[in-house]
Chains A and B, each alone.
Chain A
Amino acid sequence: GAVVSQHPSRVICKSGTSVKIECRSLDFQATTMFWYRQFPKQSLMLMATSNEGSKATYEQGVEKDKFLINHASLTLSTLTVTSAHPEDSSFYICSARDLGANHNEQFFGPGTRLTVL
């Protein structure tokens, strides 16, 4: 099946720094990528929908100036957590829709665990 990668898989940073997470579709083109956040023992929560070449659509309650999303190509979307604080510590997961296949199908990345000290 289609493969989505995320980098880094794990990051620890100091409070106040910014962290960039990459999401790549390795063998398909994705016009749409989704960014999710998952707190311990909770299900995934959609943060934003990232569309190639246009601005991301953020879910209610998600600060767009704090979670910057850039979808510069059909295979890469980045999420930058700006001025990270301990409450931003979470598991961040992306998914991508395959442009060429069934448009309902989403492929998930392995996730990035962010710990803010």
Chain B
Amino acid sequence: KNEVEQSPQNLTAQEGEFITINCSYSVGISALHWLQQHPGGGIVSLFMLSSGKKKHGRLIATINIQEKHSSLHITASHPRDSAVYICAVGREYGNKLVFGAGTILRVKS
């Protein structure tokens, strides 16, 4: 079993829909990261969180440490949100990130 599991693997949504991407992990972590990767390849760090909830524009990230689960929500989705969203956890000890397989999101207009 992978240490970081994401679901769904693929997601197609209609413009304007509310989107949720889930991430579960099985190791002790210092922080959880949500990353966005566009088709060109470059990676943008969306959130880093270790507890609670963070919001940036239409994006919301939550984490439940007890349940070892995090969600990334996109409100009022738009075609430009189409990308791969990657969950990564920083191990409790050490610097390394462990990555989920990613969720491919396509938002249709």
A-side residues, CB < 8 A to B, are: 1, 32, 34, 38, 42-46, 49, 91, 93, 95, 97, 102, 104-111, 113
* B30 CB to nearest chain A CB (Å): 5
User: Can you give 29 A-B contacts (C-beta < 8 A)?
Assistant: A1-B45, A32-B95, A34-B96, A38-B41, A43-B86, A43-B99, A43-B101, A43-B102, A44-B86, A44-B88, A44-B99, A45-B99, A46-B97, A49-B95, A49-B96, A97-B95, A104-B48, A105-B31, A106-B97, A107-B45, A108-B35, A108-B42, A108-B44, A108-B45, A109-B42, A110-B42, A111-B41, A111-B42, A113-B41
CA distance A89 to B96 in the complex (A): 24
Chain B: how many interface residues by the 8 Å CB criterion?
A: 21
Chain B 90-104, CB-CB to A under 8 Å as 1, else 0, gives: 100001110111100
- B100 nearest CB neighbor, chain A only: A43
A105-B48, A113-B41 known, 4 other contacts, Cβ within 8 Å: A43-B86, A44-B99, A91-B41, A105-B45
Which residues in A have their C-beta under 8 angstroms from that of B44?
108
A93 & B48 in contact (Cβ 8 Å cutoff)? no
Q: Does B51 contact A (CB under 8 A)?
A: no
List the B side residues contacting A42 at CB < 8 Å: 101
Residues of A within 8 A of B45 (CB): 1, 105-108
Contact of B41 among A32, A106, A110 (CB under 8 A): A110
Instruction: Decide yes or no: A46 and B96 within 8 Å by CB, A104-B30, A104-B90 being known contacts.
Output: yes
Residues of B with C-beta under 8 A to A46: 96-97
Confirm or deny: B27 has a beta carbon within 8 angstroms of a beta carbon on chain A: no
Could you tell me which B residues sit within 8 Å of A by CB distance?
Answer: 30-31, 33, 35, 41-45, 48, 50, 86, 88, 90, 95-97, 99-102
Q: State the 9 A-B residue pairs at the shortest beta-carbon distance, nearest first.
A: A110-B42, A104-B31, A108-B43, A111-B41, A43-B99, A44-B99, A105-B48, A43-B101, A104-B30
Give Cα distance in the complex from A44 to B9, angstroms: 15
